[in-house]
Amino acid sequence: MSDFEVRRTAAVDFLRRHQADGTPHMFGDLLSHLEGVETLVRQWGGDDLLALAALGHATYGTDGFEPHILELDQRDELRSTIGPDAEALVYFYASCDRKHFYSQLTAPDTDLSDLSFRDRFTDTEVVPSAEYVIRFVDLTFANECELAAASPGGAAEWTWLSEFCRETQRWASPGFITGASGLLSEGV
């Protein structure tokens, strides 16, 4: 087995041990959602690092999903499961103050150097790297599109997401732009 396959198996085992399959999520259970996000990441061309982060992205909760699997002082447990780079991306995603960051990502004249990322856990701000901005937006597209696809009314009811994806596509990878656009237009 490849390093990715070993880590992916360990990640799913970790999620089951921490009862992600019994943790309610918007339209099902957390584990199903996480695996659905990972599937979209892979379908849209995401690499192993982003796929592992997709599986773990709600480990510390998010600004939109408060329940969490681990406390922040337990980060080493996830780090040893999916690797330090994937865990760092999970933390970045989970720590995002979305109201603060989304408004910058959607502003048409914002440059990378203008971005300020606020960590909701520590209330500190940093200028994120281009790599992290792209990975964050790609993961956001996959995360929100998985929810839209799983929702009872389907993607057609997620007009805000179509608008968000259009407004932030300059920060996303081409496969994620195409994938999100296709998924969101299926419901229309």
Predicted confidence band of residue 60 (pLDDT cuts 50, 70, 90): very high
The answer to whether the beta carbons of residues 77 and 56 sit under 8 Å apart is no
Mean pLDDT confidence for 64-84: 93
**Per-residue CA distances from 172 to 12, 81, 138 (Å):** 27, 27, 6
Res. 107: pLDDT tops 70: yes
**Which one is the CATH code of 3-186: 3.40.50, 1.10.3210, 2.60.120, 1.10.3470?**
1.10.3210
Q: What is the per-residue pLDDT across 20-48, written as a single tens digit (0 to 9) for each?
A: 999 888 888 999 999 999 999 999 999 99
| pTM, rounded to two decimals | 0.96
pLDDT for res 63: 87
What is the structure's pLDDT at 186?
Answer: 74
% pLDDT > 90, the chain: 87
* Mean per-residue pLDDT over the chain, rounded: 95
Cβ-contact 54, 20 below 8 angstroms: no
Question: In 3-state terms, what secondary structure has residue 125?
Answer: strand
Q: What is the pLDDT of residue 162?
A: 95
pLDDT at position 188? 44
Across residues 71-85, what is the average pLDDT? 97
List the domain boundaries for the chain.
3-186
pLDDT on residue 187: 54
Residues 144-179 have pLDDT tens digits of: 999 999 999 888 889 999 999 999 999 999 999 999
- Within 45-173, residue ranges assigned H as helices are 48-56, 75-82, 84-95, 98-106, 130-150, 159-168
Helix (H, G, I), strand (E, B) or coil at 24: strand
**Residue 98, SS3 per DSSP:** helix
The mean pLDDT of 88-97, rounded to a whole number, is 97
